[in-house]
Chains A and B, each alone.
Chain A
Amino acid sequence: MQKRLLLLTCAAMTAALPGRAELLQVDLSIFGMD
């Protein structure tokens, strides 16, 4: 029972988290590349 409650709590917490900040795209200027 306790294990099930813990799992439910974890699932609820994960669902409640807003979107993580994450990189979508990076355009890197690189000096000296040929």
Chain B
Amino acid sequence: MKIRSPMRAQSRWFRTGVATREAYRCAWMLGLLVLLASASACKVKLISDYDEVIDHSATELQKRVEGFVHNMEGAAGTPNGTYNANKAFYDDVRTDISALRVRAMAVSNNSLTLQEIDGIEKNIEKLRQLHDMGGANGLRPAVAEPALSALNVQFVALLKLELAKKRGE
């Protein structure tokens, strides 16, 4: 009688369909257990947590931008309202946005917030260009109002998402 080695017998057993199904089932159960065990450590989070700093910084930035645009509307047509007289504001705001972005980048699962910050930066740049284009007239109300409206929609969008991340806590 021929004696088969245990290794050969085992490899034959693994080739059968039953064994394959068994292996899949075990792998699936193991995966489920790992998933459940990790879920037990904390709740599932698909998006970053609420960040008080982002909330407050964005609120402050919105106030600054709105206050500036209203001042510029009042100063339109005067030397104080020209782009050259107000370049410093745009530099400051760029710095604020950069700080906001760095903060948002430090948090994982925060890509939507980062994209929203990028969108605000793009519109601040558009506002700067419009102000510059205005020459001696500066930022006229006819230009300033729709520009501010777009920026406010963006600030609301950013804050709405940030506040929703509180998840009822």
**A and B: real partners?**
no
State the B residues within 8 Å of A (CB): none
